[in-house]
Amino acid sequence: MPNNYQELVQHWAAELTQYSTEEAENLVNWLLEHHLGLRRVDMMHFLKEEDLPEALQLDFERLKSGEPIQYILGKGPFYGREFWVNEHTLIPRNETEELVHLIIKKNPRAGLKILDIGTGTGCIPISLDLEMKTPEVYGIDISDKALEVARKNGESLKSNVSFLKCDILTEMPNVRELDILVSNPPYVPESEKSEMHRNVLDFEPGLALFVPDEDPLLFYKVIGAKGKQLLKPGGKLYFEIHEKFGSEIKELLTGLGYKDVKVVKDLNGKERIACARN
C-alpha cells in the first residue's frame, strides 16, 4: 500500500505496463495533478489510495486500458496552449509543433492569408493566428465532428480562424490568393497498422491517419496540385510528411512546378517537413 505521493506514483506507474517507467510516471503525475489540482509538493503529505476521488480511479482504469491521457482529460498541450480533443480528432503531436514553429519563424510579415487543410483540433491554424501578426486564417476538414472541436478551440482560445467543411479530395476550397498553404494530412499506409502502438490504433480516428497502400501520397498529390491555384505567385506550401517519403514528395512538388522545394529534418533527425514556393 503506498503511503505517500511518490509511492503512489510508482505503484500506479508499475501497472501501466505498456509504457516505459519514465512515461508511466509522467502520465500518473499528469492525471493526479489534473484531479487533485494541487502542486506536487503539497501532495507529498497527503493520500491514502482509498481516499482518492472515484473519478480519478476511473480515469486511471482508462489509462491502464491504453487510452491516451489526452482523450481521458479531453485536452492536450500544443505550442504552449491547451486544446480540446476527442475521439474525432487526432492528438496534436510534437512534430506538428515544429512545423508551426518553422512557419512562424520564416514568415514574419503582417496580414498573411493562410489555409490549413485537414485541421482536426485546429491546432495549426489557431496557433498561427495567435502567434503571427494580424493574419487571415482558415481551416478545413471533411469531418463535422472534428470541425466542432476546432470551433470550440477557436472560441476558448480567442482566435479568429474561420473553420469550413471541405473534402479536399473532391472539392476546391473557396479560399484563394493564399500566402501560405499548410497541411498535415493523413499519410500512414494501411500496411503500417501492424507496427503501430495499440493506443494509437484503438483510440485515434482512422480517417485522420490512414491512406491506401497503393497510393500513400494521395493527399500530397491532390493538395500539391490544388495549391498551384490556391496560392498567390510566390506563396508558400508547408507539409508535414511521413519520414519515409521525403524524396518522393520533393520529386512530386518539383514536378508540379514548385520552386525552392526543401525537405526539413525534425529534432529527431527525421525528414518530417516539406516546403516549397509557388
Ligand X SMILES: C[S@@+](CC[C@H](N)C(=O)[O-])C[C@H]1O[C@@H](n2cnc3c(N)ncnc32)[C@H](O)[C@@H]1O
Interface residues with ligand X (CB under 6 A)?
Answer: 90, 92, 96, 118-121, 123-124, 141-143, 146, 167-169, 184-186, 207-208
**CB 83 within 8 Å of CB 130:** no
- At closest approach, how far in Å is the CB of 268 from ligand X? 17
Which C-beta is closer to ligand X: that of 170 or that of 194? 170
- At closest approach, how far in Å is the CB of 23 from ligand X? 20
- At closest approach, how far in Å is the CB of 57 from ligand X? 30
End-to-end Cα spacing for the chain? 63
List the Cα angle 171/261/101 in 5-degree steps: 80
Which C-beta is closer to ligand X: that of 121 or that of 199? 121
Cα–Cα distance for residue pair 91/95, rounded to 1 Å = 12
Which C-beta is closer to ligand X: that of 32 or that of 100? 100
Which C-beta is closer to ligand X: that of 124 or that of 252? 124
**CB 247 within 8 Å of CB 192:** no
Helices (H), 18-93: 21-36, 40-43, 54-64, 69-73
- At closest approach, how far in Å is the CB of 277 from ligand X? 22
